[in-house]
Structure 1
Amino acid sequence: MNACHVWQFMSSFHLFRRKLLLDFLHDPVLTSIGRSQFKTLMILYHHGSDTMGAVSEYLGLERGSFTTVADALIEQGLIQREQNPRDRRQSLVSLSAKGKALVEKDQLRMDAYLAEQLGNLSPDEQERIERVIEELFTLAELIRKKESKLY
């Protein structure tokens, strides 16, 4: 595998992801929350409950900075924090019912946007992209499991 192609893919994917996020951050419902808060909701929706440290690392934020993000989301009733039953030194964060409803509403809009973008591709191109995405999900899950054993 050509490492240069991997980096090019990651850069292109980052730009696409950024465009998608920016489009949705202009939604009137989402203008009341910041980009890090929106990303936190999406992470918790797709990956479930996790430690504050793991979510802050995923976002690329210092733990103290993420605490501010989490506190704001808790205050809005979008996430909840509880003590980790396996390690009392850690806090777990998860979506509240209100946070889940907000993400699911926007997920429908995101799905429509992606369908529109992918509709410009041929069926063969769509199928190839689907296979690559499935492989990336598998790889990401293996990495996630490996990293979660470290904590």
Structure 2
Amino acid sequence: MSDKQPGIAATDGVSALPFRPSDWPMPYLAGIEREHTLTATLVLRRFDIDHKSWRLLAVLKEHGELTVSALAELAVLERSSVSKMVATLEARGLVLRHQQGRDRRQSNVALTEGGDALYQETAPLISRLFEYYFGGFDDEEFQRFMSALRDVMERVRSARLHPWTPRTE
């Protein structure tokens, strides 16, 4: 797909196309995230963990020990929210946090045996949700879909660097 959307006439880099949310993917992506979070939290309720906290366990399982900032980035959550979730998970014995040097802001987080056990017990439940969501895709279609999502994510992240994006002073 080119940088221009079909049928979009632009002047001075500004789209002349009226903004209609039903024509753009962002409301759908936000809706998918919201609905999945609600459903996954219901599935995980009996384990006394919400989906976003579970996502932190999943990221730590995949990547190992991480800084809070890296964990927030990989989990696609706000750093301040992740700090609070990590404190709750630590109090439950699911993660261990330790400082790097004297700076409390620079702490690493790792799964404990209890966190790993909870992840192992619950991952099949979340996996079952994804199998349901993507049941109509064959492997090739799913890989193309994921590739397209990754490409869009990179473009969205890099949009802040474009000249037409206002800068904060």
TM range (shorter): 0.5 to 0.7
Pair 1:83–1:113, CA change in 2 (3 A)? same
**CA-to-aligned-CA distance 1:5-56 (integer Å, 9 cap, x gap):** xx944543343233222212113334x2345423322332333321123334
Task: Point out which structure has higher relative CO (alpha carbons under 8 A, 6+ apart).
Answer: 1
- Deviation for aligned residue 1:59: 1.3
| Pairs aligned (count) | 132
Aligned partner of 1:75 among 91, 95, 119: 91
Pair 1:82–1:119, CA change in 2 (3 A)? same
**CA-to-aligned-CA distance 1:66-103 (integer Å, 9 cap, x gap):** 4332121111111111233xx65321001112112222
Tell me the TM-score normalised to structure 2 length: 0.59
Aligned partner of 2:46 among 1, 26, 29: 29
* Runs of at least 5 residues in structure 2 that lack an aligned partner in the other structure: 6-22, 155-169
Tell me the TM-score normalised to structure 1 length: 0.64
* Runs of at least 5 residues in structure 1 that lack an aligned partner in the other structure: 142-151
Identical aligned residues as a percent? 24
> 1:40 touches 1:59 (CA, 8 Å); kept in 2?
no
Aligned residue type for 1:127: E
Asked which structure has the greater CA Rg, the reply is 2
Residue 119 (structure 2) pairs with residue 106 (structure 1): no
Pair 1:138–1:99, CA change in 2 (3 A)? farther
- Deviation for aligned residue 1:129: 2.5
CA-based RMSD? 3.4
2:56 partner SS: helix
